Amino acid sequence: MTELTHSVEPPVQGTEPAALSRSEKRRVILGVGVGNALEWYDWTAYSIFAAYFAGQFFLATNPLTALLGTLAVFAAGFLMRPLGGLFFGWYADRHGRRRAMTTSMLLTAGGSLLIGVSPTYETIGPAAAVFLLAGRLLQGLGHGGEVVSSFTYVTEMAPASKRGVWASSVFVFVTIGVIAATLLGAGLTSTFGPDAVGEWGWRLPFILGGLLGIYALYLRRSLDETPMFKRQREERAAVAAPRGRGMWAEIWKHRKACLRILILSAGGGVMYYVWAIMAPAFAMGPLKMEPGPVMWVSTGANLFLILCLLFWGRVSDRFGRKLNWIVFGVGSVVMIIPLSMILTGGDGIWRLAVYMGVGMILVAAPTAIMPAYFPEQFPTHVRAVGMGMPYSLGLALTGGTAPYLQAWLYSLGQPRVFDFYLIAVCAIVLTVTLMSPETRGKKLTN
């Protein structure tokens, strides 16, 4: 673990972005944010509606088995995210952050649309799961590319003194996308009832998400490329974006930063999915809470998360990025078991509200600054690929498997085993944080 420690290198040939007008700032944040919202709307709709359409794609003689099948496909989407992070990271470093954001968004929207129109098990038998899997794999590939390109774009466009606040806007829009999917779930359930949503209503969010991708495409095509990438492109002969063996050699040169991001994203990502994304599906599925109240509690919790994200973004700009990670690590280790006991301790929708509310305070601390802290670890010519691959891999290892593992261990009557697993991951995150460099105010280099 001592290999992770290194000092921040002095800036060389830094290219800070020019001061933007208020309208230009709004255009940048909105262009990136709306795309992020749609990406995560599509991604979250799967987890929220999994309990509804589980029996549509798998033989539904055992509801838990069908749910586990849909969660396995959920995890498969995560396996594509490292590939998306690697490919679109290289693409963003070679051809531009804006082009990578646009292309990755189209893949995610296409995957969502495919899920929305897929035939069911009753129609074509076991082959129905293939359509579901294909749509989810497209979402995973596009989502991995969206993360690396949008994180890098926002970091390079933001003033050095305000990168934390700008970074928090990324997950503010992510949360808006989550809320939109949750509200739609609550509205559909309240209007048509759980049976109708399970029969056909679950398709509407996926079809809508695919169609709204056209609007986000329009916004992103009007964005400017970042000044740092422009300078790199002009100096291509001197500092070229690496390809093939050169790319891997460059990643190896920054292996300490890659390993750091792998571990931190694994810990922060798994808790984000447990507390903010999968809690409603777990409450409706194994815990058998009423879908309507669950959706409204989830909406309120995510609105609260927006406030927490903005708060923690400002904290990181004033006191440094490491403080956020320390608060998260210590708080999670202490609170994981008590919160789990509250959630699974009996009836009452208040249990889900407490579980998600406290979780949002803690998980917002690292989530708010990931879009700044991770790209700050690398020079411009490998910033996207160097950050994107370990970030996506970390989420695939923990976030993608957590929902399945949680539901399976609960079905075996062993929920505490899952809690101890989460505690171990968060303890490792805390250790790595203490050994990592501070990057607040760091000048980005070519």
pLDDT above 80: residue 241? no
Residue 121, amino acid: Y
Q: Is the pLDDT of residue 150 over 80?
A: yes
Residue 351 lies in a domain: yes
CB atoms within 10 A of CB 195: 9
Residue 364 pLDDT greater than 90, yes or no: yes
Distance CA 66, CA 55 (A): 6
pLDDT tens digits, residue range 26-72? 778 888 888 888 888 887 787 778 777 777 776 656 666 666 677 67
Residue 246 has pLDDT above 80, yes or no: no
List of residues 6+ apart from 233 with CB closer than 8 A: 96
How far, in Å, are 83, 161, 332, 334 from residue 317 at the CA level?
32, 6, 22, 26
Instruction: Let me know: does 132 contact 226? Beta carbons within 8 Å.
Output: no
Residue 397: inside a domain = yes
**How do residues 253-283 score in pLDDT, each as one tens digit?**
888 999 999 999 999 989 988 898 788 878 8
Q: What is the mean pLDDT of residues 118-143?
A: 83
Does residue 254 fall inside a structural domain? yes
Give Dmax over CA atoms of the chain in angstroms.
65
Work out the mean pLDDT of the chain and round it to a whole number.
83
How far apart CA 276 and CA 48 sit, in angstroms, is: 11
Query: How many Å apart are CA 239 and CA 94, to the nearest integer?
Result: 11
Q: Which amino acid is at 386?
A: G
- Structural domain includes residue 285: yes
d(CA 104, CA 141): 8
Whose tokens are 């290999």? That residue is 3
- Average pLDDT on 417-432 reads 94
Quote the domain boundaries for residue 328. 21-434
Return the structure tokens found at 284.
Answer: 């409706």
Which structure tokens are listed for 167? 């970074």
Task: Write the burial class of residue 8 (CB in 10 Å: 0-12 exposed, 13-18 middle, 19+ buried).
Answer: middle
Of 188-202, 260-274, 316-330, 419-433, the least confident = 188-202
Stretch 280-306: mean pLDDT, rounded?
A: 86
**CA atoms of 295 and 279, how far apart (whole Å):** 10
pLDDT at residue 12 in the model: 37
User: What pLDDT is stored for residue 349 in this prediction?
Assistant: 93
Percent of the chain at pLDDT above 90? 27
* Among the ranges given (57-66, 72-81, 323-332, 384-393), the one the predictor scored with the smallest mean pLDDT: 57-66
pLDDT exceeds cutoff 60 at 238? no
Q: Report whether 1 contacts 435 (CB < 8 A).
A: yes
Q: How many domains does the chain have?
A: 1
Q: Is residue 87 part of a domain?
A: yes
Read off the pLDDT of each residue in 4-29 and give the average, rounded to a whole number.
57
Whole-angstrom Cα distance, residue 426 to residue 430? Answer: 6
Q: What is the pLDDT of residue 244?
A: 53
Higher pLDDT, 339 or 244: 339
Tens digits of per-residue pLDDT, 203-229? 898 898 888 887 777 777 778 888 888
Question: For 153-166, what is the mean pLDDT?
Answer: 89
Residue 443: inside a domain: no
444 lies in some domain: no
Length of the chain: 446
What are the helix (H) ranges across 58-162?
Answer: 63-95, 97-117, 121-124, 128-157
> Is a pLDDT exceeding 80 seen at residue 77?
no
**CATH number of the domain residue 116 falls in:** 1.20.1250.20
217: nearest Cα among 108, 134, 80 = 108
Give the mean pLDDT of 146-171.
89
Q: For residue 174, how many C-alpha atoms fall within 13 Å in the half-sphere facing its CB?
A: 23
The stretch 160-186 carries a mean pLDDT of: 88
Query: Looking at residue 387, what is its pLDDT?
Result: 87
CA distance 229 to 189: 46
Report the distance separating Cα 33 and Cα 62, nearest Å: 40
11 assigned to some structural domain: no
Lowest mean pLDDT among 236-250, 370-384, 393-407, 413-427: 236-250
The model's confidence at residue 8, banded by pLDDT at 50, 70 and 90, is very low
